[in-house]
Amino acid sequence: MPSDKRIPGIRTTAVHAGESPNPETGASAPDIVMSSTFVVDEKVSFSANNLTDDTPFLYTRWSNPTTKQLETKIAAMEQAPACVAFSSGMAASTAVLFSLLSQNDHLVISNTNYPGTAELVRDTLPRMGIEVTPVDTAELAQVESAMQPNTRMIWIETPSNPLLRITDIRKVSETARHHGVLVVVDSTFATPIATRPFSLGADLVVQSLTKYMGGHGDAMGGAVSGKTDLVGRLRGEGAGHYGGVISPFNAWLILRGMATLPIRMKAHQDNAMELARFLEQHPRIERVLYPGLPSHPQHDVAIRQMDNFSGMISFKVNNPHETAQHMMTRLDIFHYAVSLGHHRSLIYLMETQDLMQASYRLSGRERDKYQSTAGEGIFRVSVGLEDADDLINDLAQVL
Ligand SMILES: *Cc1c(COP(=O)(O)O)cnc(C)c1O
């Protein structure tokens, strides 16, 4: 990194943060250190509870030179003091939930979000004696009225899966501070290019590195950035004891992907904007959700909170199942597949009945709200880096 006090820009940070030439070999690119153990020349405590930032490398479940380069780069991009990497986004999420919540604690969480997280908090946490209240965190009043004396954490996902709801991180963080509870933001759809939740008041930021951060659909990983003491607890308990640590090879792939994150996100956004405009005027499309469109319900919050509207679009047609069948057989460029944030464009039907039964289990007004937006199902589009005209033509022939 440049040594003067000027804070480097986001592109310079993406390329250089966490990396420096190997002092012995002069290698300019990062080394992949595939060693599970390290030879030490001083006595190092054998307990994950005694880990500090200055502990020498001892065992890769606690820390590894390649992984540390990745963590340093992510922390710099998130503008947070510390970061710990995991084997997947879900490993990062379980580390946060299990390390920081205990029996009789209460969690307030977005009522529609990544299905893995939704199912974990509805099925597993209550079994451990942790109370959970799912609310629409885009409505601040719902968050406020969910607060209880035993509330310890508010978990928001913004933009959220699959309706791309935007939650005002600053406002929720103010409410949380007032009640003395932690705010965790799953910022996977936004990436640090769009939003830096830590600077908006959040305590911890969760990323699935499998998505935009790695960006090429070839490596799984997760990360949590935030305050040094909290991240230290996650490293000791979440990584050291639960053990979901990232492979140094995957850390290296993601490190390499992240160098181009700023320019990829710009291209994702430009393509998504063109595709969203095309979809919005298409006669067969009933509804398009994209935070960059004035028709998005929280477009005003998106403008304030996001420096980039990202590459995720959701849209509704009146015969989603038939359309999905066409897509599976006729799409040339789009892959009909789950996941997101890759250089390749992906599309998938998120079926309402499935999500309601397995993941969200909404009722009353919240169920009506979801159903009126998504109908029987909503297509989730992860707009890739191909030419926008080709993407538009590919979708046009299946609509
Ligand atoms: C994919 C995803 C996760 C889970 O990440 P994995 O790397 O697949 O374990 C969590 N949150 C969001 C928003 C995601 O998109």
Tens digit of pLDDT for each residue in 347-396? 999 999 999 999 999 999 999 999 999 999 999 999 999 999 999 999 99
CA of 398 to the centre of ligand 1 (A): 28
- pLDDT above 80 (res 79): yes
Torsion of CA 351, 361, 158, 102, to 10 degrees: -140
Pocket test for ligand 1, best of 211, 224, 247, 346 (most atoms within 8 A of CB): 211
Which residue's alpha carbon is at the smallest distance from atom 5 of ligand 1? 89
CA of 118 to the centre of ligand 1 (A): 11
Locus of tokens 């199902």: 377
222 Cα nearest atom in ligand 1: 7
Q: Which pLDDT belongs to residue 53?
A: 67
Cβ atoms of 273 and 91 within 8 Å: the answer is no
Closest CA to 187 of 92, 289, 314, 73: 92
Mean pLDDT of the 305-318 span: 98
Whether the upstream peptide bond of residue 162 has omega within 30° of 0, thus cis, is: yes
- pLDDT above 70 (res 2): no
Closest CA to 161 of 394, 370, 393, 388: 370
Ligand 1, CB cutoff 6 Å, lining residues? 88-90, 114, 116-117, 157, 161, 186, 188-189, 208, 210-211, 220, 222
Closest CA to 349 of 369, 329, 313, 320: 320
Q: Which pLDDT belongs to residue 55?
A: 78
- pLDDT above 90 (res 50): no
Model-wide pTM > 0.95 = yes
CA of 72 to the centre of ligand 1 (A): 21
CA of 24 to the centre of ligand 1 (A): 37
Q: Which pLDDT belongs to residue 54?
A: 73
Q: Which pLDDT belongs to residue 269?
A: 98
- pLDDT above 90 (res 344): yes
CA of 378 to the centre of ligand 1 (A): 18
- pLDDT above 70 (res 1): no
